[in-house]
Amino acid sequence: MSTPVVTVHETVVGDGTTTRSRSARRWRRARLPLALLALLLTAGILTALPEPQTSTLTLAPDNPADLGGRAAAQILGRQGVDVRYVRTIADVEELAGPGSTLLVVGDYLLGDEQIDVLDETEADLVLVDAEWAVGLLTPSLTSSGGFTDTPEVRSAQCEDPDAVAAGTITASGGLLSTGPGAVVCFPAPGASTDQGGAYGVAESDGRRVVAVADLAPFTNQYLADEGNAALVLRTLGRHERLVWYIPSLDDVGAGGGSGPAPGQVLPPVVQVVALQLLLVVVVIAVWRGRRLGRLVTERLPVVVRAGETTRGRGRLYRRGRSYGHAAAALRAGTAARSAARLGLPRSAPAPLVIDAISRAAGRRPTDVETLLYGPPPTDDRGLAQLARDLDHLESEVHRT
Amino acid sequence: MAVTWRAVVLAALGLPVVLVVPAVGTVLLWTLLVVVVCAVDVALAASPRQVAIRREVPASVRLTEPATSTLTLTNRGGRLLRALVRDAWPPSTGAQSDRHRVLVRPGDGARVRTVLVPTRRGDALADLVTIRTFGPLRLAGRQASLTVPGRLRVLPEFASRRHLPSRLARLRELDGRASVQVRGPGTEFDSLREYVIGDDVRAIDWRATARRSDVVVRTWRPERDRRVLIVLDSGRTSAVRVLDAPRLDASIEAALLLAALATKAGDRVELVVYDRRVRGRVASTTGARVMASFADTLALVEPELVETDWPGVVAQVRQRLSQRALVVLLTALDPSAVEQGLLGVVGQLTERHQVVLASVSDPEVDALRTARDGATAVFDAAAAERVGLERAAVAVRLRQRGAEVLDSLPDDLAPALADTYIALKAAGRL
């Protein structure tokens, strides 16, 4: 090409927008997503606000269901008792000391370590539904070994002031007194306290150990029945502080085990540095995230290979096991090319072609006839053999 | 709004500060510092909308040849313009590097050049020009994408022009200008000249020799001012990809070579691109303008996924040609398509005109035909063999109806068509 014709286009200044129109457009574009985001946030806050978290754990102080203990915990809280709900023995160790009450609910998840800690604490113990632990924590009380069944109305029948104040409770289960100073109350109806009661109290190592065989009096469901409330509130409200301990499965034990959390080991500067690094990452994201103009697109041409139809046809032959068709095609191709090479017209009859090819290749006419017009092969191997033989024949024709 | 790597460095510079005063407040203060400094930098940056942009781009360029899109930027604002400019073009225009840094004083101008090496035929439209200006600290800046129109027409490559010199030499052999003279039925009397040693004694004009004292020979030249009509089929069969390019591209190469050759030979060449309607046409141009208008028309031809309307083609040919002419059909020798379309009407063309059908064959089919490894390959070979036979059969039927048939590989089609043209011219069959 000689000097190309250069088109000079009109000069462009700006895109006809002003700061005001751009901000108006941005606002128009952003307001719907912003409104949706605000709506989501409001809805989230509203659902999160009304109540502190509740659980479904049996006798937990934040469980409002029938089996929960929120009623008792809230009444105690209003009466000025500092209720601390804990799940790990480490917290128990930290919070429970002299002048506090330690409520232990259930003993299925207590291990030797936890029992040791409970044994050594100087707080008053209230063991609920913990027959096995009772025997370990005080020598004066033991479980009768019976299963707890449906709660029944029982009367105190003993001298303990708390029990007397309660009068009757709804409970089941049996605790036996095995040592001096231990008092057992609330035997089954028609039985005496010697045969076991739902409530036992003993002094050991200078602290008070109260055992209640059944957790029914403590539950939201039964707290208002009979004298349950009196017994529960008197038992748990003896001190300023109540540590409400429900053992958990993932409690690794007191002190030992995995050591302190990572956050406590690292120096405090690490967290601040991490925050600064976050700032750096955000700036990098803004730096790399802004594209220099939009992506340019264009239509792409059709991409279908010319050989596709031929291959498709080959697949059809193979799937249909059409050895006859395939062999016929191969033979016709060889015959046509050989005939053309020998100067025969396309319309030449078969005997003429056989004769010419056999003479050119130096083969017997019957061999050539079998090869070109014989029966079709019946399997893959036969077809491959035929193809090779035809190639061979064609190359011989080529030589002459 | 956009920030640079310097803003990242500024944010990272807060790390030693935080190590000295490890408090969350330090981080917050540093964040505020980064934000404020960047905001000040943005506020001090020149406005990208106060830059006058003028684009200069060649009207057309041949495929695979470089073209330059030049943007002239004039700073009409009052601030120093430090900017990164992107001149965006579609990917197939092959822009080498479309990002440019410029530094323009107020009232001054700068020029940025983007070299384009197109890889696809057709019109390429320039996309947006994006200007990102930076503040004095180059921490952050403003960005705007502006519509600056620009169009580059990418003409066909015409790679087959390398065959042109040899074909023109052959043409001159037919012509009286060369020392070797060929006299055939396709030639007409040109002039008389003196005999030189080496001339064919049969060419001596005895009557003229008798009138003069010298021995005089007749010279001949091929017939001139014949008409050639190239019909380019842009139907579905032209969209098929052979090797790396659509079949249409090989047909375009062949059309260009034939047009160049026939124009040089003194014939009048016309072009019709047709599938179900006329997609492009070149008619009644002569001389140097022929090649330009051919390239311009063929640049925009795209395959359409429709079946070609052959009776429509015949109607077009009838409308264009009143006298006998050479009609070149650049299409595909696709057995089923030809049987249903062209075969029925080709007779109407051949009875009045010399018809040449040129088709691009697929080297992949040849490769399939000779493959022998495994049963699948043999079945494919049988299919390829069958396809070849059907093509040959349909070619025979077309020849029986009086058409010349060419079936060549993509690279060979243009020279083969040129040779056919020369042969027909030498034989006086135009």
pLDDT, residue A300, reads: 81
Q: Are residues A185 and A76 in the same domain?
A: yes
> Is there a contact between A283 and B8 if contact means CB atoms under 8 Å apart?
yes
Mean per-residue pLDDT for B152-173? 90
Q: Are residues A320 and A204 in the same domain?
A: no
Mean per-residue pLDDT for A369-382? 90
| A·B CB contacts under 8 A | 249
Assign B150 a pLDDT band (cuts: 50, 70, 90). very high
> Is there a contact between A306 and B240 if contact means CB atoms under 8 Å apart?
yes
pLDDT, residue A190, reads: 77
> Is there a contact between B384 and A269 if contact means CB atoms under 8 Å apart?
no
Give pLDDT tens digits for A245-287. 888 877 765 544 455 566 567 777 888 899 999 999 999 999 9
* Amino acid in position B161: R
The total domain count for chain A is 2
pLDDT, residue A25, reads: 92
Mean per-residue pLDDT for B24-32? 92
User: What is the domain range of residue A400?
Assistant: 308-400
User: How far is A146 from A151, CA to CA, in rounded Å?
Assistant: 13
Q: Alpha-carbon torsion B309, B313, B319, B322, what sign?
A: negative
> Is there a contact between A305 and B148 if contact means CB atoms under 8 Å apart?
no
Q: Are residues A314 and A241 in the same domain?
A: no
User: How far is B83 from A393, CA to CA, in rounded Å?
Assistant: 74
C-alpha dist (Å) from residue A125 to A83, A200, A236, B68: 14, 12, 9, 91
Q: Are residues A321 and A217 in the same domain?
A: no
Q: Are residues A352 and A239 in the same domain?
A: no
Facing residue for B365 by CB, picked from A276, A294, A307: A307
Q: Are residues A237 and A319 in the same domain?
A: no
Is it the case that residue B131 has pLDDT exceeding 50?
yes
pLDDT, residue A50, reads: 64
Is it the case that residue B175 has pLDDT exceeding 80?
no
The candidate with the shortest Cα–Cα distance to A363, out of A341, A389, A388, A324, is A389
Lowest mean pLDDT among B30-44, B63-77, B199-213, B334-348: B199-213
Is it the case that residue A225 has pLDDT exceeding 90?
no
Lowest mean pLDDT among B72-76, B159-163, B239-243: B239-243
Instruction: Identify which has the larger pLDDT, B196 or B346.
Output: B346
Measured in angstroms, the CA of B232 and the nearest CA of chain A are apart by 18
Lowest mean pLDDT among A98-102, A204-208, B248-252: A204-208
Q: Are residues A232 and A322 in the same domain?
A: no
Q: Are residues A231 and A336 in the same domain?
A: no
Strand partners, A124: A101
> Is there a contact between B18 and A269 if contact means CB atoms under 8 Å apart?
yes
> Per the domain annotation, does A286 fall within a domain?
no
pLDDT, residue B222, reads: 67
Find residues 204-263 of chain A whose CB sits inside 8 Å of chain B. none
User: How far is A210 from A207, CA to CA, in rounded Å?
Assistant: 10
> Is there a contact between A304 and B59 if contact means CB atoms under 8 Å apart?
no
A9 touches chain B (CB under 8 A): yes
> Is there a contact between B24 and A272 if contact means CB atoms under 8 Å apart?
yes
H/E element, B270: strand B268-274
Assign A2 a pLDDT band (cuts: 50, 70, 90). very low
Mean per-residue pLDDT for B194-223? 81
Percentage, residues of chain A above pLDDT 90 = 20
C-alpha dist (Å) from residue B429 to B343, B352, B355, B422: 22, 12, 10, 10
Question: Could you write out the DSSP letters of every residue in B71-92?
Answer: EEEEE-SSS-EEEEEEE---GG
> Per the domain annotation, does A279 fall within a domain?
no
Lowest mean pLDDT among A48-62, A239-253, B48-62, B75-89: A48-62
A354: three-class secondary structure by DSSP: helix
Q: Are residues A83 and A205 in the same domain?
A: yes
Is it the case that residue B302 has pLDDT exceeding 80?
yes
ipTM for the predicted complex = 0.75
Question: Could you say which of A216, A245, A274 is where a domain stops?
Answer: A245
The candidate with the shortest Cα–Cα distance to A15, out of B52, B357, B34, B80, is B52
pLDDT, residue A269, reads: 82
Facing residue for B362 by CB, picked from A306, A325, A380: A306
Q: Are residues A143 and A217 in the same domain?
A: yes
Per-chain mean pLDDT for chain B:
89
Measured in angstroms, the CA of A21 and the nearest CA of chain B are apart by 13
> Per the domain annotation, does A296 fall within a domain?
no
Is it the case that residue B253 has pLDDT exceeding 50?
yes
pLDDT, residue B177, reads: 44
pLDDT, residue B181, reads: 46
SS3 content of chain B, % helix, strand, coil (to 5): 40, 30, 30
Lowest mean pLDDT among A270-284, B154-168, B218-232: B218-232
Lowest mean pLDDT among A101-105, A112-116, B149-153, B179-183: B179-183
Mean per-residue pLDDT for A289-316? 87
- Chain B residues whose beta carbon lies within 8 Å of the beta carbon of residue A298: 90-92
In chain B, whose CA is at the least distance from the CA of A295? B88
Strand partners, B265: none
Is it the case that residue B194 has pLDDT exceeding 90?
no
Question: Could you say which of A245, A264, A283 is where a domain stops?
Answer: A245
Listed ranges A218-222, A302-306, B110-114; the one with the highest mean pLDDT: B110-114
* Beta strands per DSSP E along chain A: 6-8, 12-13, 82-86, 100-105, 124-128, 141-143, 152-155, 168-171, 175-177, 183-187, 197-204, 207-212, 241-245
pLDDT, residue A146, reads: 62
Give pLDDT tens digits for B88-123. 999 999 988 889 999 999 999 999 999 999 998 999
The candidate with the shortest Cα–Cα distance to A151, out of A217, A68, A235, is A217
Give pLDDT tens digits for A228-247. 888 888 888 888 888 888 88
User: How far is B350 from B403, CA to CA, in rounded Å?
Assistant: 6
> Per the domain annotation, does A157 fall within a domain?
yes
> Per the domain annotation, does A219 fall within a domain?
yes
Question: Could you say which of A219, A245, A271 is where a domain stops?
Answer: A245
Is it the case that residue A43 has pLDDT exceeding 90?
yes
> Per the domain annotation, does A381 fall within a domain?
yes
| Residue whose tokens read 């370590």 | A113
| Domain at A220, CATH number | 3.40.50
Instruction: Identify which has the larger pLDDT, B44 or A227.
Output: B44
Is it the case that residue A8 has pLDDT exceeding 60?
yes
> Is there a contact between B30 and A294 if contact means CB atoms under 8 Å apart?
no
Measured in angstroms, the CA of B194 and the nearest CA of chain A are apart by 41
User: How far is B130 from B114, CA to CA, in rounded Å?
Assistant: 13
Mean per-residue pLDDT for B141-162? 92
Give pLDDT tens digits for A122-164. 888 888 888 788 888 888 888 776 655 778 888 888 888 888 8
Residue B273 burial by Cβ neighbours in a 10 Å radius (0-12, 13-18, 19+): buried
Is it the case that residue B180 has pLDDT exceeding 60?
no
> Per the domain annotation, does A115 fall within a domain?
yes
User: How far is A353 from A64, CA to CA, in rounded Å?
Assistant: 101
Residue B267 is classified by DSSP as -
Percentage, residues of chain B above pLDDT 90 = 63
pLDDT, residue A1, reads: 43
Facing residue for A384 by CB, picked from B90, B239, B378: B378
> Per the domain annotation, does A278 fall within a domain?
no
pLDDT, residue A61, reads: 86
pTM beyond 0.80, yes or no: no
Contact B265, B224 (CB under 8 A): yes
Give pLDDT tens digits for B255-271. 999 999 999 888 899 99
Find residues 278-337 of chain A whose CB sits inside 8 Å of chain B. 279-280, 282-284, 286-287, 290, 292-294, 296-298, 301-307, 309-311, 313-318, 325-327, 329-330, 332-333, 336
Q: Are residues A96 and A238 in the same domain?
A: yes
Q: Are residues A198 and A112 in the same domain?
A: yes
CA B143 to chain centre: 37
